């Protein structure tokens, strides 16, 4: 496994790779969810590249950029047994140089879900993914379903810019008790960790109502809000039952829908989602 710290080092490695290349973009501080993406790439591609970069442009003022978990040696130790060919570990100054003035923005997402609650976040995601795709030139890039809106944004960007890469989505990986795996889970105290289960419980409530025949979007949203309201440590940002492609809220679910939510448990903001489909 080789490690590249600069764009030129990563490009030099890429020129040596033959066959298909799979990229797993991450913020680092890896967990089993990230490793499941690595294993999916290993199964489909001849070469696997993992990027570990805490992207400053997707964090807003007052968010946790400065304290986001960061342990490159730990990440490398987790990746070595997985058959990864290269790890891209750039510094902030390598990705965003003085004078850079170009950003990528997918119109129509700014007032929806994460876009509404984290101004600039999705532009930061689209920009850094575009840069990574340009640097690594993968045939496929692998993303987890947990960050559902990011996945929608990246797919739309790839389509609109005619980028020659396949975006592969993989299911959310959960702890045995249902909590979606997240690097931010490390922030939670034992009491908060227990309270955080309200996210997956609320989504299961929506799934159960949907399986029972409920198709009214607002009733499904209300069921999730009420369950979250029963947890004293939970502060709700949003609940949503939306179209899986446009993320517009649905009054009536006629096909598939994305049920998603964002909840603050103490100082920690967590997101989760499930696809509702017959």
Question: ∠32-90-65 over CA atoms, to 5°?
Answer: 65
Active site positions, annotated: 34
For residue 271, which phi and psi values (nearest 5 degrees)?
A: -125, 160
Question: Hunting for tokens 């448990």 — which residue is that?
Answer: 265
Q: What is the CA radius of gyration of the chain?
A: 19
24-102-14-29 Cα dihedral, nearest 10 degrees: -30
Q: Which residues contact 38 (CB under 8 A, 6 or more apart)?
A: 24, 48, 50, 79, 82, 84, 142
Contact 123, 103 (CB under 8 A): yes
């Amino acid at each position: 496994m080789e490690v590249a710290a600069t764009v030129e080092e990563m490009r030099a490695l890429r020129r040596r790779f033959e066959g298909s290349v799979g990229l797993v973009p991450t913020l680092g501080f890896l967990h089993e969810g990230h490793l499941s993406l690595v294993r999916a790439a290993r199964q489909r591609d001849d070469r696997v590249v993992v990027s570990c970069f805490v992207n400053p442009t997707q964090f807003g003022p007052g968010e946790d950029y400065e304290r986001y978990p960061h342990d490159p040696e730990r990440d490398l130790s987790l990746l070595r047994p997985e058959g990864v060919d290269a790890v891209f570990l750039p510094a902030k100054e390598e990705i965003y140089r003085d004078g850079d003035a170009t950003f990528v923005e997918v119109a129509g997402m700014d007032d929806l879900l994460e876009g509404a609650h984290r101004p600039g976040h999705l532009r930061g995601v689209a920009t850094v993914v575009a840069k990574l795709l340009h640097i690594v030139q993968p045939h496929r890039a692998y993303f987890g379903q947990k960050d559902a809106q990011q996945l929608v944004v990246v797919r739309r960007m790839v389509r609109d810019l005619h980028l020659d890469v396949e975006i592969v989505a993989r299911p959310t990986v959960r702890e045995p008790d249902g909590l979606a795996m997240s690097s931010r889970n490390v922030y939670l105290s034992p009491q908060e960790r227990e309270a955080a289960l309200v996210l997956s419980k609320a989504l299961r409530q929506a799934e159960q109502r949907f399986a029972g025949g409920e198709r009214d979007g607002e009733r499904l949203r209300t069921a999730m809000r009420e369950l979250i309201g029963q947890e004293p440590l939970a502060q709700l940002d949003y609940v949503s039952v939306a179209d899986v492609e446009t993320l517009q809220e649905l009054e009536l679910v006629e096909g598939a829908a994305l049920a998603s939510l964002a909840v603050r448990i103490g100082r920690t903001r967590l997101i989760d989602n499930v696809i509702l489909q017959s």
